[in-house]
Structure 1
Amino acid sequence: MEAQKPPTLRHRLEAAALGGLLRLIRSLPVRFRYALAGRVGEWARFVDRRHARIAYQSLALRYGEEGAEEKVQEVFRELGHLVGEIPLLETLSLEGLQETVRTVEGREHLEAVAADPRGVLLLSAHAGNWELMGQILPQYGLSPLNGVYRPLDNPILEERLRAARGRHGVQPIDRRRASRQVMTALRRGETVAMLMDQHLRGTDRIPLPFLGEVARVPTTLARFAKKAGTPILPAFLVREAPERFRLVVLPPIEPDTFGDDEAGIRDLTAETVAAMEAGIALAPAQWFWVHRRWRSEPRELVAGMRPPPWSGAIRP
């Protein structure tokens, strides 16, 4: 493991501010907790103008400028709810985590891959609460579960998040040196979770339509699946009310049904993109629109593209 740089004053101030907010949120009843977290999220868009502008540009392109500012507000509110759910990661028991999931769609897909000795590549996106999902899925048989992730820039917050992820056995894999660990885990029949909806540098990428715009999409997941012969299971945890979620599991994608050449890799990658789009469409307001996913200029939509109906913004 690479030596971690010591925290700067900025890191300490950020960690102290977030820690104070989380202590306040944790002390409140659930409905008030979500109301405060959501309001803080809404206010944050006035401070973080850069990410608010990124979200506005993408949303206005898809849904039109009329109402785009309200959608940005809802996106930031849901990000506030996401932060307000961190105490759930740090305090809830396994039983408590399971009780937050009121509906499971596609349970048969979970049971099928859990019984498969080949292991599974869990595909998701930065939608809903992906961190909680990583804690919950091992209780449905996807255990051990390893999560490929990018470490946070703030080492204090990174240590806190690693501790929260590890409370119920989730093992982190640093994205910067993941290949060997991913293949080792799959060969042991374990689950490896990957979020593939963001712009990733330093990986093999191909242009594919994603949410209506052409994006450079990593082929990493498809190559792991082909090399290990491992099914890909798309899954998403959608927020429906304060501390109430819906787990949606889509049919597994079998890599053997795609060719072993580069055309097969492209087709398999396109299938994973379609699965992510289906997951994001469950609650578009809960996706990470603040990320600069599309890098080409000028921005334009693929002909005939229709955005998913806007939904997923909750009010406690």
Structure 2
Amino acid sequence: MLRTLLRARALLRDALKPASEAVIGAAVVGLLKTTRYFDPARTASAFSRITRGIGPWLPEQRIGRANLKAAFPEKSDAEIETILSDVWDNLGRVAAEFAHLDKVWDFDPARPGAGRIELAPGTQTIFEQLRDDGKGALIFAAHLANWELPALAAPAYGMPSAVLFRRPNIAAADRAIQDMRAVNMGEMVATAADAPLRLAHALEAGVHVGMLVDQHFGRGVDVTFFGRRTKANPLLARLARQVEVPIHGVRIIRLPGDRFRAELSEEIPPARDGAGRIDIAATTQAVTSVIEGWVREHPEQWLWLHRRWR
């Protein structure tokens, strides 16, 4: 009897799934379109108040609290809760800003202090070198501040680029999100079986390949992150072994007044084994260590709400 009831529940769930996904997808599309009609800064503030209020009631709050306590055992409970509140604030702002991706990146090299975007010292020089050297490059980023923004910089100034991304599970939301991103993000490469081959070909053609590399990847290599063992995606290191190109990190820092600072790192030399080949595990660790440094500097701007350690 119990087995029959469980089977019936599973069949009902599967039958209702397409309808529920259609409703959610339509809601996402409607929200994105509606948000574009409102002022970006005011909308970001409104969304941040909503996520600050709702976030503590969601299961992700417990995940974030556990992650922060493990990463920062020296911090008090009050400090942890303050960081968590700011994490939800940042997430709400990212959601609102996504609807205005075609307007957020407004850096003008002729007027560097006039817009919402500023560049960290040395970043423009590194960017120009990457743009003009005739080679591809591997650019990694993390879920810090607004992690969609790094992909906007390259196309804005004539740098050929490709960005690896993970499709949302809901088809209608996927289409809406890709329409937003396609405006000015260069070539979008979905995570699929052919993605490594497509990215390798892009690198060989002088394209700059960007990817987020800071989340747990069950089939990845072992790395240490905040003193704890976890898994990280080795794709970037594998691509570097296959097509030797420079490796750089890019991060966005959220500033007061709805502004951002973009920072490109100096070239990060890959680790090599005794035969001189790029060591995939050690290079992945080197990248992970850079990201840890970024997160330590601005923990309130990183997405602590996923299970990074398992």
Which category describes the TM-score, using the shorter chain as reference length?
0.7 to 0.9
Residues 1:230 and 2:272 are matched in the alignment: no
User: For the structure 1 residues 282 and 140, does the alpha-carbon distance in structure 2 shift closer, same or farther, using more than 3 Å as the test?
Assistant: farther
Counterpart residue identity of residue 268, structure 2: I
Alignment of 1:1-316 (within 5 A): 8-22=18-32, 25-47=35-57, 49-61=58-70, 62=72, 63-89=75-101, 91-92=102-103, 95=106, 99-105=115-121, 106-141=123-158, 143-177=159-193, 178-202=195-219, 205-255=220-270, 258-259=272-273, 260=275, 264-295=279-310
User: For the structure 1 residues 96 and 221, does the alpha-carbon distance in structure 2 shift closer, same or farther, using more than 3 Å as the test?
Assistant: closer
> How far apart are 1:208 and its partner, in Å?
1.9
Unmatched runs of 5 consecutive residues or more in structure 2: 1-16, 110-114
> How far apart are 1:268 and its partner, in Å?
1.7
Unmatched runs of 5 consecutive residues or more in structure 1: 1-6, 296-316
> How far apart are 1:241 and its partner, in Å?
3.1
Give aligned pairs, total. 284
Separation of aligned partners in 2, 1:125 and 1:93: 19
Residues 230-255 of structure 1: CA deviation (Å, up to 9, x unaligned): 11110011221354110011111234
Fraction of identical pairs, as percent: 24
Separation of aligned partners in 2, 1:170 and 1:280: 27
Stretch deviating more after TM superposition (10-19 or 234-243) = 10-19
Residues 173-205 of structure 1: CA deviation (Å, up to 9, x unaligned): 122221110111000010111111111234xx3
TM-score, normalized by length of structure 2? 0.82
User: For the structure 1 residues 164 and 282, does the alpha-carbon distance in structure 2 shift closer, same or farther, using more than 3 Å as the test?
Assistant: farther
| 1:8 partner SS | helix
Separation of aligned partners in 2, 1:26 and 1:96: 20
Counterpart residue identity of residue 65, structure 2: Y
Where in structure 1 do 4 or more consecutive aligned residues deviate above 4 Å? 19-25, 93-98, 260-263
TM-score, normalized by length of structure 1? 0.80
Counterpart residue identity of residue 166, structure 2: R
Counterpart residue identity of residue 61, structure 2: A
> How far apart are 1:157 and its partner, in Å?
1.3
RMSD value, Cα: 2.6
| 2:100 partner SS | helix
Structure with max Cα Rg:
2
> How far apart are 1:12 and its partner, in Å?
3.0
**Is 1:144–1:169's contact at 8 Å kept on the other side of the alignment?**
no
Separation of aligned partners in 1, 2:176 and 2:99: 11
User: For the structure 1 residues 14 and 273, does the alpha-carbon distance in structure 2 shift closer, same or farther, using more than 3 Å as the test?
Assistant: same
Counterpart residue identity of residue 96, structure 2: G
